[in-house]
């Protein structure tokens, strides 16, 4: 890496203190970048969870309508009662899945840092890498 992003190149002929300052400055920039990247990942995941939650809710709603129609058709056809119970079980499971997806999404959203939280003191004085 040539240091072009900051315009500063490590001069191995410079005094030791200056080289140490350059290295420390580079480490601090790296920590800031890592914090920004880490803060962005959960936002992407929450957006993906939103899509999953919406899809699960649509599936559950579509199944509820189709399941009712299917139960009526099975009853008219004289199907065993076990078939109706299996449909009811599937409907319950899909409703639970949609509810679980909603709860997981809400919990992930609650865990997000507020927008701009990393632009405050944490980015001005990032923790020192060890």
Please tell me the distance from the alpha carbon of residue 1 to that of residue 106, in angstroms, as a whole number: 41
Q: Which element (helix H / strand E) includes 22?
A: helix 16-77
| Full pLDDT tens readout for the chain, 130 residues | 444 455 566 666 767 777 777 777 778 777 777 776 666 667 778 888 999 999 999 999 999 999 999 999 999 999 999 999 999 999 999 999 999 999 999 988 888 766 555 554 554 555 555 5
pTM to 2 decimal places:
0.55
How many Cβ atoms are within 10 Å of 51's Cβ, its own excluded? 11
Contact indicator for 98, 53 with CB cutoff of 8 Å: yes
Output Rg (C-alpha) for the chain, integer angstroms.
Answer: 28
């Amino acid at each position: 890496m040539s240091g072009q992003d900051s315009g500063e190149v490590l001069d191995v002929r410079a005094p030791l203190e200056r080289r140490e300052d350059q290295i420390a400055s580079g480490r601090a920039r790296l920590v800031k970048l890592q914090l920004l990247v880490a803060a962005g990942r959960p936002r992407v995941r929450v957006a993906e969870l939103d899509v999953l939650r919406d899809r699960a809710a649509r599936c559950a709603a579509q199944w509820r309508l189709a399941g009712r129609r299917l139960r009526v058709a099975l009853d008219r056809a004289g199907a065993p009662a076990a078939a109706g119970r299996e449909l009811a079980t599937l409907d319950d499971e899909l409703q639970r899945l949609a509810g679980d997806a909603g709860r997981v999404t809400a919990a992930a959203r609650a865990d997000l840092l507020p927008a701009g939280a990393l632009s405050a003191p944490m980015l001005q004085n990032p923790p020192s890498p060890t």
